[in-house]
Amino acid sequence: MPASGTSWKAWRSSCWALGLCCMQVVACAQPGPDATGEATMRSEMVEQQLATRDIDDPRVLEAMRAVPRHRFVPQALAADAYRDQPLPIGHDQTISQPYIVALMTQLARISPGDRVLEVGTGSGYQAAVLAELDAKVYSIEIVAPLARQAQRVLEELGYRNVVVMAGDGYAGWPEHAPFDAIVVTAAPERIPQPLLDQLRPGGRLVIPVGPLQSMQELRVVEKQADGSLHSRSVIPVRFVPLTGEAAERDRTP
């Protein structure tokens, strides 16, 4: 979603120029293409946009093929749902492009039965992809109407292994910690300590980090068995900022 004072057109151009995406957001559960047509579009999305790049985990490719992405966008944009681009979906927010969703999912290395935290539910699309990997997904969205909408769409699609909560994701979800993986879809300037604390030894945190007005980097942080952390940068990105009281306090003056 564009930052306050930034037009959607300018923000979109900036993101597309980088070939990147920003936070997933509200879903509109409207009928999209017919079943045969949308299945074909999903298959083409996977083969042309993901498998030809660096998405090579077969389980991730199958998850991306399985989730009806057009259900997570307004009906008027359903025909564009499978293009490799973010789309506006109301509330001044967007759904991430398929490649970034697939990349973050692959980096998280989800195994069946894993307990996964997602910070930034938005549309629920990323949560649905994670759920396709047979994980138990706990997803937090700071905008309450988006949280309610995402939960409704996920339930309509039969995802019973996803729980959505309206709240401040900076603090994580300690009641369900520790997590085998944490996926964050908005950028803090510094990695929130609560998320590191709630990561299980051997677990992975996938998160964009950096200031709002400049390039950020997508990082993977792995917690070692002794509790130490190993962080690596994957690609430069441009995400919206992680919001909430604690996140604002953490920003550089």
CATH assignment at residue 90: 3.40.50.150
Alpha helices in the chain (DSSP H): 8-18, 35-45, 58-66, 98-108, 125-131, 144-156, 193-197, 245-249
Q: Is residue 61 part of a domain?
A: yes
Question: Which residue is catalytic, options 14, 96, 214, 228?
Answer: 96
Nearest to 147 by CA among 23, 239, 25, 2: 25
Does residue 136 lie in a domain region? yes
Residue type for position 132: E
Mean pLDDT by 10 residues, the chain (253 residues): 36 38 36 68 95 97 96 87 86 84 98 97 95 98 91 96 96 97 94 96 96 88 96 91 80 66
Residue 212 lies in a domain: yes
Bridge-based pairing of strands 115-119 and 179-184 is parallel
CB 71 within 8 A of CB 80: no
The predicted structure's pLDDT at residue 148? 92
Query: Is 34 among the domain residues?
Result: yes
Return d(Cα 45, Cα 67) in angstroms, integer: 12
Q: Tell me whether residue 3 is in a domain.
A: no
Amino acid at 84: D
Domain range spanning residue 196? 8-249
Q: Does some domain include residue 131?
A: yes
- Give how many domains the chain has, as a whole number: 1
User: Looking at the domain assignment, is residue 51 inside a domain?
Assistant: yes
pLDDT at residue 13, rounded to an integer = 38
Q: Going by DSSP bridges, is the β-strand pair 87-88/216-223 parallel, antiparallel, or unpaired? A: unpaired
Task: Give the pLDDT confidence score for residue 35 in this predicted structure.
Answer: 64
Distances (CA, A) of 222 to 82, 103, 136, 140, 204: 31, 16, 20, 21, 5
Measured CA to CA in angstroms, residue 179 lies from 31, 114, 147, 155 at distances of: 34, 8, 20, 23
Return the amino acid letter for 135.
A
Burial of 104 (0-12, 13-18, 19+ CB in 10 A): buried
Annotation marks residue 96 as catalytic: yes
* Residue 8 pLDDT: 37
2 in a domain, yes or no?
no
